[in-house]
A and B are shown apart, each in its own frame.
Chain A
Amino acid sequence: MRPGPWICAFYLAAVAVFIFLPIVVLVEFSFQDGLIPVPPFKGFSLRWYAALFADRKLLDGLWNSLLVAVLSSLVATALGLLAAYGLARRRPRFAGAIQYFLMAPITVSYLIVGMGLLIGFNALGFGKSLLAVGIGHVVINLPLAFAIVYSQLGEHQANIERAAHDLGASDLQALLLVTVPMLWPALLAAFFISATLSWDEFVIAFLLTRFDVTLPVVIWNMLRSGLSPKLNAVGTLVFGVSIMLVFAVEFLLSRARRKNG
């Protein structure tokens, strides 16, 4: 009894409806001609998008989020790559313990990571800032980056590395010119996942920023003032941009694939 094609299609459609329901409602009520993004839909209006673009705080928050996401993900991926490489190629005696150590932050909720850093930074006189948030995000993303890269560092890459060494390459050259290109999908995945998690992360950003805040904190402050279709507009815009990005990537990839036959 293989599940027939209709059942499969129906199930996928049902799940899709579930997944997209809050999104569709979100987008619809971003055009609400009224103060409250709740049915009944009062009419089509772009005033909330206009309000959005006039909102300096929102735009700044967007920018800050991008900055922190990209930079912290780069650092997390780089550190994760180095750690995975070091662990895989040179099996130190306590490899298992080291693995647990590096993965440990995953078992701690963001709230706790944030509180720990808050208390620690203040004790050192190190103020709240986007940098502090960036550090917090590297803490939570490093284990993921490490795990993703490590799972892809296998023997066949080691063989090619050894070949490169025999041909005279230094460790660094072998790493950058041989291993990294082979690991490209894993590095991309690590970067992508880290950026995604950092971009939308709230608790650590909330605890560790003062005035330069990230988008989730701006949204949280806006939510404190009650519901408004302006928030729907933000959500819709972010969503729209993401879709465009994803499709752009897809397009580039499929074009490149076709080129390579």
Chain B
Amino acid sequence: MSRSAIQASGLSRRHFLGATVATTAMLAVGRPGPSFAAGRELNALMWCDHTDAKLLEPFEKRFDVKINVKEYQETGAALAILEQSQPGDWDVFVVDSVDVMRVVARGLLMHLPDAGMPWRDIFPDLRQPKLHYKDGKLYAVPEKFGYNAFAFNNKKVDPGDMRRADVMWNPKYKGRIAVYDYYIPTMEMVALGIGIKPREMSTAHLPAIREKLLEIKKLASVIGDVPTVQNALVTGAADIIIAGGEFVTAGLVAEDPNLDWTLPKEGGIRWQQAIGVFAASKRKNLATEFVKYVVGPEGQAALATASCYWAMPANSKAALDEGVKKRLRWDEQPAFIANSYPYFIPDPTLDKEMLAVWQEFLQA
């Protein structure tokens, strides 16, 4: 706005002053309706698949509570958030099963009662007592699982190729490959491709993995997080996602039926997430009820088909309908579970080395 115009308009100066004062007063005093619950609240630190109304509302209505969700993507980010928080700030936690003990070691999780948890219904391979129990006490319940293997557009690729791990560095797909940027499952998938099982992985294997990564880099069109690689598949920027899985494509099949996922014969990496209650929570009983709800058949069905990403519920008795079961390859699950390796968190030294190799990959 030119100076002369404003200086000449004495009228507008008063207008603006008045408008600003009125606006500020309005903002400070009025808000469009109360957005805080007059009553009880649960504060949850969770992955984005827990934000749907269809998951939260039934519980909120039944127990007259409001659930506030803060989403995060990586355990490191969650730990950072917790470090910057006061005790009692949070009630419920959803975290990677492999990170549960890390969190327990910091004394952050509460010991959960075994009663009321559907252990018999949870797939046997997922129970992993070493990850969820310490000294005989339960700290987190598995709630959802999936795979980091391959997601792809079956119109654009040869489905037969997708059953072989070496598709990752197959020059036939130059410029058509997207890479999921969470370095641990991706590097473990690459390791599987050259015959190294995740549990066996050590610093000695890193040079070979590094070489394969650099080969992949030449063929890659995009590297990114879930939304990024998902978009790439959808917009056609890529046809294959390395370390992708049902979590990328199952929710979008209605929109594009060509999107699919599978494990190669060499196997895939299996991830799972668990839910628990914070030790410093001020609403322990309510939080525990919420945990029971989420791992019960009703909650499991809603969780499996979350708008953020779909994946398999840990409870085999989840109330899934036929269409959903098909998209999640529910009948193939026992075979897939048998052919997959739970993903494995490296010790700090290996972790640092892996991250160093990963950064080289990104910068190549």
- Seen from chain A, the residues whose Cβ lies within 8 Å of a Cβ on chain B are 34-36, 38, 56, 59-60, 63, 66-67, 70-71, 74, 118-119, 121-122, 125, 127-128, 181, 184-185, 188-189, 191, 210-211, 221, 223-227, 249, 252-254, 256-257, 259-260
Contacts and interface: CB of A to CB of B under 8 A. Distances in A.
A63 B51 CA distance: 21
Nearest to B23: A70
Nearest to B84: A122
B70 interface: yes
Q: 10 tightest CB-CB pairs across the interface, nearest first? A: A256-B9, A256-B11, A122-B84, A225-B308, A35-B255, A256-B12, A185-B6, A185-B3, A211-B68, A67-B27
Nearest to A182: B7
Contact of B227 (A118, A225, A249): A225
Contact of B10 (A185, A188, A221, A260): A260
Interface string B1-21: 101011111111101100010
Interface string B228-261: 0011001100000000000000011011100000
Contact of A184 (B13, B32, B85): B13
Interface string B113-139: 000000000000000000000000000
Given A128-B84, A224-B48, A253-B6, A74 B24 contact: yes
Interface centre among B9, B11, B43, B235 (most CB of A within 10 A): B9
B83 to A, nearest CB: 7
A260 B16 contact: no
A199 to B, nearest CB: 13
Contacts of B89: 127, 210
B307 interface: yes
Contact of B15 (A125, A191, A252): A252
B234 A260 contact: no
A7 B7 CA distance: 34
B351 interface: no
Contacts of B9: 253, 256-257, 259-260
A230 B3 CA distance: 39
B35 interface: yes
A38 B230 CA distance: 13
A259 B308 CA distance: 56
Contacts of A34: 255
Interface string B26-70: 011001100100000001000010010000000000000000101
Contacts of A227: 227, 231, 234
A71 B20 CA distance: 10
B291 to A, nearest CB: 20
Nearest to A261: B8
B143 to A, nearest CB: 18
B48 A221 contact: yes
B231 A226 contact: yes
18 contacts: A35-B254, A36-B255, A63-B31, A67-B27, A70-B27, A71-B24, A74-B24, A127-B86, A128-B85, A181-B13, A188-B1, A188-B6, A189-B1, A191-B20, A225-B307, A249-B1, A256-B8, A257-B5
A185 B7 contact: yes
B283 to A, nearest CB: 15
B333 interface: no
Interface centre among A128, A226, A227, A249 (most CB of B within 10 A): A226
A211 to B, nearest CB: 5
B355 to A, nearest CB: 20
B73 interface: yes
B84 A226 contact: no
B6 A60 contact: no
Contacts of A121: 84
B71 interface: yes
Given A184-B7, A253-B1, A260-B10, A59 B83 contact: no
A104 to B, nearest CB: 25
A225 to B, nearest CB: 4
A257 B8 contact: yes
Contacts of A252: 12, 15
Interface in B300-349: 307-309
A210 B84 CA distance: 11
A224 B71 contact: yes
A56 B15 CA distance: 33
Contact of B32 (A59, A70, A118, A127): A59
Contacts of A74: 20, 24
A228 B305 CA distance: 17
A118 B309 CA distance: 30
A36 B234 contact: yes
B86 A253 contact: no
Contact of B308 (A71, A211, A224): A224
B227 A70 contact: no
Contacts of A60: 35
A85 B73 CA distance: 47
B15 A38 contact: no
Contacts of A185: 1, 3, 6-7
Given A226-B252, A257-B5, 13 more contacts: A67-B28, A70-B23, A118-B84, A127-B86, A184-B6, A188-B1, A189-B1, A223-B227, A225-B51, A226-B231, A226-B251, A252-B12, A256-B8
